[in-house]
Amino acid sequence: MNIYIYTMTKTTMMLFSLALVLIFSCNTSDPLDQPSTQSSPKKEKPESLNNLTEKEKQGMRLLKRRQKATQEALSVKEKNMTSPYKYLTTTDEYPIFTSLMSRSILSKHIHSAGVTVLAPVDKAFDDYPYYKELLLPINKEELDNFIAYHIIDTPLEYKEFSVGDSWTVHAGHSLSLSTKGGVNFNGAHVRSGSVNTDHGMVIGMDDLVYYPKISH
């Protein structure tokens, strides 16, 4: 009888313990199913960086600044101030005129003769949409003539140029200069300021000094 009671008691206790386990397992969710409320640990710097002295850190910052400055310098095309020709071919201010000048026989003269180049901006060619045809072999003479009208065979700063009554261009014609409504040369508006190179000057123009007569 005692054995029976003992056995029953032991069995009851086991069943009770099992029931408790089942109850708690049902009420407790898997921690993997719960969103983490803890923030991700911050990434720490490599141990080698943490051990740097303040002087070494300053050296690294200086090196980074120099590397950045070098990259920026390489991305910017340096302007060549040797001559008007070199300046125009290394600046992006007058791309259309520069492309025409580079194909002209007068490019060497512009480089070495100490001249003033009257360089029209791209917008000046809006009134002359045929400029690309100047590059055709049939229009080579007129291309050279067009460039000649934009050369004065003496180096002139803007102030000196703007006080004259007229100037003779390389094409051989004397063209008048007016100061009414701004400075205008042969009816073309002159931009203020000039670029001084080692062998000549460049003055910007808002209009063409001469409109070529081309063969289509």
- pLDDT for 208 beyond 60: yes
Asked if 120 contacts 150 with a C-beta cutoff of 8 angstroms, the reply is: yes
Does the domain at 84-205 match CATH 2.30.180.10? Answer given as yes
Please determine, for residue 167, whether its predicted confidence score (pLDDT) is greater than 90.
yes
Residue 176 has pLDDT above 80, yes or no: yes
Does the structure show a pLDDT above 60 at 12?
Answer: no
pLDDT at 160 > cutoff 60 = yes
Q: Quick one: pLDDT band at residue 3, thresholds 50, 70, 90?
A: very low
Kindly list the domain boundaries of the chain, sorted by start residue. Answer: 84-205
Whether residue 194 has pLDDT greater than 50: yes
> How much of the chain, in percent, has pLDDT values that exceed 70?
72
Would you state the pLDDT for residue 60?
A: 79
Question: Is 5's pLDDT higher than 50?
Answer: no
Average pLDDT, the chain: 82
Decide if pLDDT at 20 tops 70. Answer: no
- pLDDT (tens digit per residue) in 76-135: 457 899 999 999 999 999 999 999 999 999 999 999 999 999 999 999 999 999 999 999
Answer with the residue of higher pLDDT: 56 or 104.
Answer: 104
Q: How far apart are CA 196 and CA 216, in angstroms?
A: 37
Token code pair at residue 42: 């911050």
Please tell me the distance from the alpha carbon of residue 94 to that of residue 101, in angstroms, as a whole number: 10
Asked whether the beta carbons of 94 and 100 are under 8 A apart, the reply is: no
User: Whose CA is closest to 81, among 205, 177, 195?
Assistant: 195
Q: Which residue has the higher pLDDT, 17 or 101?
A: 101
What is the percentage of the chain residues whose pLDDT exceeds 90? Answer: 61
Cα 44 to chain centroid distance, Å, stands at 37
